């Protein structure tokens, strides 16, 4: 399934969503200018490495220990491993971020986004403490945005491109169903990686789960003082 758009109108310009997309794309363009060795150093220096964060390993470049480990949960959110990675993440941020930012306000949305990214990193760390593989990408933070959308706009319709063997069709799926299936897939896929021997590359499913959960837990705090009808959490926006 690939989501194309929703029927959820926004009432203002999503400045933070646009800014986050721009920063991520600019960083990725910078990545494209680097030779393979320098790009690998960038990922190891600014990506999140669970074992390095735990103090089990040290990153050494040119004979010097690289510091700044405490910043990597933030810096890793703005690095991406390829075109499909960055385009897919930015599309999901645009699709779900504008309405959530509309409801929270700009500053709260930025704080929420970064906090969800930290929540995603925390759960990834707990489930892969000894991993020496750099984790990069905005998907953990975006998962938090999706978690908020899941509760705020459950009846919004997501126009989705559905692939079923040789059949391709456009289907309108309620957000609560689309996002419910998405998080279920993350939990099931993440559960299959638990207990794996050694480092396992690929998708950090538990980061997605952590971000989604953080989004749900932080939602009530983001709505404090906002003029939102009590019933709005369970009604389609607009």
**Tens digit of each residue's pLDDT (9 = 90 or more) over 61-107:** 544 445 568 889 999 999 999 999 999 999 999 999 999 999 999 99
| Phi, psi at 224, each rounded to 5° | -60, 125
Task: HSE, CB side, 13 Å, CA atoms: give it for residue 173.
Answer: 20
Do 153 and 175 contact (CB within 8 A), yes or no? Answer: yes
Q: If you average pLDDT over residues 167-172, what whole number do you get?
A: 87
**Run of H or E including 157:** strand 157-164
Instruction: Provide the domain limits for residue 73.
Output: 2-234
Q: By the 8 A CB rule, do 208 and 139 touch?
A: yes
Read off the pLDDT band of 166 (50, 70, 90). Answer: confident
pLDDT classification of 226: cutoffs 50, 70, 90: confident
More confident residue, 160 or 57: 160
Residue 30: pLDDT band by 50, 70, 90 thresholds? very high
pLDDT at res. 236: 39
Calculate the average pLDDT of the chain: 87
Is residue 199 very low, low, confident or very high in pLDDT (cuts 50, 70, 90)? Answer: low
User: What pLDDT does 130 receive?
Assistant: 83
* Domain at 164, CATH number: 1.20.1540.10
Classify residue 15 as left (phi > 0), alpha (psi -120 to 50) or beta: alpha
Place of tokens 């998962």: 143
> Which class for 207: exposed (0-12), middle (13-18), buried (19 or more C-beta within 10 A)?
buried
Per the structure, how many domains does the chain have? 1
Looking at residue 66, what is its pLDDT? Answer: 52
């Amino acid at each position: 399934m690939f989501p194309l758009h929703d029927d959820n109108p926004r009432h203002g310009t999503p400045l933070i969503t646009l800014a986050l997309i721009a920063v991520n794309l600019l960083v990725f363009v910078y990545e494209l200018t680097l030779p393979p060795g320098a790009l690998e150093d960038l990922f190891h220096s600014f990506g999140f490495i669970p074992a390095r964060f735990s103090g089990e390993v040290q990153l050494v470049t040119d004979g010097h220990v690289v510091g700044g480990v405490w910043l990597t949960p933030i810096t890793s959110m703005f690095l991406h491993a390829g075109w499909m990675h960055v385009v897919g993440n930015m599309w999901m941020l645009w699709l779900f971020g504008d309405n959530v930012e509309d409801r929270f306000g700009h500053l709260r949305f930025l704080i929420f986004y970064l906090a969800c990214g930290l929540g995603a990193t925390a759960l990834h760390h707990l489930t892969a403490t000894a991993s020496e593989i750099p984790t990069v990408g905005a998907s953990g933070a975006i998962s938090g945005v999706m978690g908020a959308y899941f509760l705020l706009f459950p009846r919004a319709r997501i126009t989705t491109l559905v692939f079923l063997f040789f059949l391709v069709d456009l289907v309108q799926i309620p957000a609560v169903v689309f996002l419910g299936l998405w998080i279920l897939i993350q939990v099931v896929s993440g559960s299959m990686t638990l207990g794996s021997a050694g480092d396992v590359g690929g998708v950090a499913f538990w980061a997605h789960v952590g971000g989604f959960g953080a989004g749900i837990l932080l939602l009530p705090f983001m709505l404090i003082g906002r003029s939102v009808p009590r019933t709005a959490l369970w009604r389609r926006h607009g």
